Amino acid sequence: MRTFTTFLALAAGACAQSSAYTDDVTGITFQGYTDSTTGFKYGMAVPTTPATDFIGQMIVPSNGTGYGGVSLTGEMVGSLLIVAWPNSDSVMASLFETSGYTSPQVYSNSSISLNPIANGTFVNSTHMAYTFLCTGCITGNSLSFSASTSSIVIGWAMSAKTVTNPTSASAATFVYHEQGYGDFGLTLSAAESASYPTWAGMATAASNTTTSSNSTCSSTSSNTTATISNSTYDYIVAGAGPAGIIVAERLAETGKSVLLLEQGAESTYATGGRSTVSWNDTITQYDVPAMDYYLTSAPDTSEYCTDTANMAGCILGGGTMVNAMMFVRPQAADFDDKWPTGWKWSDVSASAEKLYERNPGTTLSSMDDQRYDQQVFSTLQKFFGSAMGFTQVDAIESPNAKTAVYSYPPWDAQNGLRAGPVKSYLPLANALFNFKLSLYTKMIRAIRSNSTVTGVEVESVSTGARQIINLNAGGSVILAGGAMASPRLLYNSGIGPTDQITTVQNGCQGVTLPDESEWINLPVGQNLRDHPIFTLKFNATSITDTMLATEFTSPNQTDIDLFAQGSGPLAQSGQRFNFWTSLNSTNGTRFFQGTCSSQTDGIVNIKLYLTHGLTSTGVLGITSNGATEFTTDPWMNTDADRIAVTTMIDSIFSAARNSSILTPADSTATGASIVAANSYVQGDHFVGTTIMGETNDGNSVVDTNTKIWGMDNLFVVDASIHPDLPTGNTQAIVMVVAEHAAAKIVALGSSNSTGTTTTTGAVAPYANSTSTVGSAVPSGTVAVAGDDDDDDCY
């Protein structure tokens, strides 16, 4: 389901075709497309013998905000992206490379440039137009189309959301496309014109367009005005995602003072969130299970981070508020294969049971014990049962059954609503006098004195003001930003590869690093792993009445009334069928997960994940603007992974071609062709960037107590410490690990306890924070915790 997990949400194939039009202003004849719903228009012209250049034109309905963008392949990974946006009365534009559901990275290549055609580039009261010569943009590789290709696919997207740093083409960030997106097919020969040289001659070099690296600073912050809070804590946990909430609650149970920091806002209605749905003003879009596939196009998309390399939830609950609610309990092998001593299944199973007691997950989320919209399940039950030979299980009750099995989807839902630690742990913490939650508060760095953390520096999201919050004697900090964000906190604290810390040192964020002699060289950002997902489309004549997107976003009164009772299709997530299986090879066993749904009658989408056992890895770095970035992509970069995915796709296609139940939508597709085309999307289930190990041998970042090597009281508890990917979505396993880590940190705190300390004054760093009250605080530890299959930002 590419449309819900990618930056541009571009479909795999063109769903509309282009036609010719002549621009009245420039006189250029384009082959292009106009979206009938939004009015977005894009056109292209090429020479009679296409080579490396083309002329493009975007016309975007705009009232002076937002952006328009086109992708030159229609793909979300590694595609050249052209984005334009209004900046006052001028138009800014830049080249980017798509990488995932996040603000993309500026594309740097001196042979590729954008040059505007002035009389076709303007901003008025209703529209923005950007007409340009794209030099070197027909690359013929994965970034763009080939000049010899007869039919190409162009993706497009538009948004009314204000661009961050709109005055800088190199530093601007933008995410989401709530106003529209799609793609269209274009026959390249139809865009050819003998007048092309004349038209291209109208282009001029642009001063507001960049092809440079994202190393340029848009602004420089300073922390010299940071104030000192008069409140201190035993534990400071940075990140109120699932791991952060669980760790903070368990630490607070000990009676020691705990401060939980969260960069984002309230989420559920019960926590004070007010991003309500149009049909019910007493619940938010995060409460409704059926909305989980449509959050990226909802009226409010402020829950997503803009400073991470990929999709992450900057909101109370982190990834558990923005994911698709899959709650795949880990199998024993998920721990036994790669986790170190003390973290095998026999060690963590008791922690798992503690989690499941509070947050069990379910395969039946509607409170009337009915399942709705079940044609997909009925169809795939027949296919996987008869054609594939799979067995039905309950994924919640049988977590170790992960080969040749299928199940109703396991969801993190309770009482007909989205569940997770915001519902199952946070209320328990809020009931404790010694617990404090501070929202809209971004952690910048841990303040170090050699190997000891003495406090943290934070920044108010609303005002930009910085503050230092100190630890009590014997206290600790726990990072929980997730695999996309915790590395940033470590780089900013002088921990990680020297080149990344140097980027911070020379960067724009005004971060005060420890003396270089105190930098700790650890492989932060290495070992990055994620699930690649391949979407396979099948025709299924048995599916005649599937629920459409509008039935989730604008439900009928019957479904609204059912939801009011905790029941009906709105109380379900978007998946309708799940399966798991594995392949054995000479270099190990690889597991696969499938999540299946339909939003169109007669069509089934199977999202095939390569999961536990994959060998592809990547690297996460940091930019001078303080955002994390992929310096090496972690997907499908080993032959073993490519062979395994090819084999699995072919096995499903073969079964379908020998069955009357499903028919591949593309009769020519094979596993080899799909893998060769890199037709995957990111799972956004990142792990490994602060990996755990038993010894400080240069291959790990934290020890088996989750403490940073070389530090006395700095911990990480989130997906980044996981040495391997699990067999399914990471939400459940992150929570299990958080329970186990909390017990270890509590044990260390007890052995190092030095008594109690009393604090006075304001408890929260900023006036817009929320919390329970508490002033008496004993000594303890400061922790940083993480989230589930999406990251939190801190």
Domain match, 89 and 205 both? yes
Whether 177 sits among the annotated catalytic residues: the reply is no
332 located within any domain: no
* Predicted local distance difference test score (pLDDT) of residue 64: 79
Question: In this structure, are 79 and 204 located in the same domain?
Answer: yes
pLDDT of residue 171: 57
Q: Judge contact between 343 and 336, C-beta under 8 A.
A: no
Task: Give the C-alpha separation, 280 to 411, whole Å.
Answer: 23
In a domain, 790, yes or no: no
Q: Quick one: pLDDT at residue 566?
A: 97
The active-site residue out of 177, 685, 722, 740 is: 685
Q: Is residue 344 part of a domain?
A: no
Residues 697 and 574 in one domain: no
**Does this model's pTM top 0.85?**
no
CATH number at residue 125: 2.60.40.1210
Residue with tokens 């929202």: 439
CATH code of 321's domain:
3.50.50.60
Among 150, 177, 210, the domain-final residue is 210
Q: Are residues 403 and 462 in the same domain?
A: no
Residues 193, 264, single domain; the answer is no
Task: Decide which of 637, 662, 682 is a domain's last residue.
Answer: 682
Distances in whole angstroms, Cα of residue 318 to Cα of each of 264, 295, 313, 713, 730: 8, 14, 5, 24, 13
Q: Which residue stretches of the chain have pLDDT < 50?
A: 1-15, 207-216, 218-224, 753-794
Residue 752: name the closest of 392, 474, 452, 378 by CA: 474
**116 found inside a domain:** yes
Look at residue 580 and tell me if it is in a domain. Answer: yes
Contacts of 516 (CB under 8 A, 6+ apart): none
Task: Enter the tokens of residue 173.
Answer: 């960030």
Residue-range definition of the domain harbouring residue 456? 227-327+422-525+689-784
451 and 507: one domain?
yes
699 and 601 in one domain?
no
Domain for residue 43, yes or no? Answer: yes
Are 239 and 251 within one domain?
Answer: yes
Do both 151 and 238 map to the same domain? no
| One domain, residues 152 and 239 | no
> Does 312 share its domain with 438?
yes
Phi, psi of 244 (to 5 degrees): -60, -45
DSSP-assigned letters across all residues of 163-197? PBSTT-TTT-B----TTEEEEEEEEGGGGB-TTHH
| Residues 139 and 195 reside in one and the same domain | yes
Write down the pLDDT at residue 191.
Answer: 94
Q: Is residue 354 part of a domain?
A: no
Query: Does a structural domain hold residue 357?
Result: no
Give how many domains the chain has, as a whole number: 3
Q: What is the pLDDT of residues 502-524, one digit of tens each?
A: 999 999 889 999 999 999 999 99
CA dist 631 and 773 (Å) reads: 43
The span from the CA of 292 to the CA of 198, in Å, is 50
Look at residues 649, 682, 715 and tell me which one is the last residue of a structural domain. Answer: 682
Q: What is the CATH number of the domain that holds 411?
A: 3.30.410.10
